[in-house]
Structure 1
Amino acid sequence: MALVSALAVGLGGAAGALARFEVGKRLERRAVDTLAVNIGGSFLLGLVLAAGIDGPAALAVAVGFCGAFTTFSSFAVETVRLTDDGETGRAVVNAVGTLVLALLAVLMGAEIGALLA
């Protein structure tokens, strides 16, 4: 089972990283692409966990895909860069907005996932 779990996480992670790269290419706006993936990934994680999906499929999506797709480090760097560029207001909006929207997204995903369970 450990090998299957590791493969599930690895394959999900590869898919999540590729999807993250594609979103970044398509949106090409500082902080917007990171906000989009963090909200989308939070929604998907809430959905999967509440839907009762388990085993390798849950590992592939929740740990692998969502783990690679979402990005706290980019969010932190972009917030600091906004501050460094003198855009303190945008930095605060980015920080608070990302947190609030990601939490709402995971709650919405969980609500929908519970309906599907």
Structure 2
Amino acid sequence: MSALLVVLGAMVGAPLRYLTDRAIQTRHDSVFPWGTFVVNLTGSLILGALTGASVATPALALLGTGFCGALTTYSTFSYETIRLAEQRVYLYAILNTTVSVITGLGAALLGYTTAQAII
């Protein structure tokens, strides 16, 4: 049953990641990967909130592993960072790495503490 919930969550998360990434990136004339940054930040916030709310295992499989797992993308983040370095845009590569990790952790903490305060 959990595997099916993961698949169902991923069926929503993956297309949403693609559409969000494209919508954001087309609005920015920059080599910085804003789309990937936003989906990873959003996924961190949601997963932090789910963890803070101590949701039941079925909901965590659907929303945490399935939806957030498909919405966020470490592989694209890594690829885009390497691409920035290859293009010799070193400041953007360093900023992408640093800001993504720090804000991702901050978003997860914010989601967690907000959910804890509500529940």
Q: Which secondary structure does the structure 2 equivalent of 1:57 belong to? A: helix
**Cα displacement (A) at 1:24:** 1.6
**Cα displacement (A) at 1:54:** 1.1
Q: % of aligned pairs identical?
A: 33
In the TM superposition, 1:1-117 aligns within 5 A as 4-28=1-25, 29=28, 30-117=32-119
Q: TM-score, normalised by structure 1?
A: 0.93
Q: TM-score, normalised by structure 2?
A: 0.91
Aligned residues: 114
Cα RMSD after superposing both structures: 1.0
Q: Distance in 2 between matches of 1:51 and 1:115?
A: 9
Q: Distance in 1 between matches of 2:81 and 2:51?
A: 29
**C-alpha contact (below 8 Å) 1:17/1:65 kept by paired residues:** yes
Q: Distance in 2 between matches of 1:18 and 1:55?
A: 24
**C-alpha contact (below 8 Å) 1:34/1:71 kept by paired residues:** yes
Structure 2: segments with no counterpart, 5+ residues: none
Q: Which secondary structure does the structure 2 equivalent of 1:86 belong to? A: coil
Letter paired with 1:79:
T
**Cα displacement (A) at 1:90:** 0.9
**C-alpha contact (below 8 Å) 1:39/1:105 kept by paired residues:** yes
**Cα displacement (A) at 1:88:** 0.5
Q: Distance in 1 between matches of 2:118 and 2:56?
A: 14
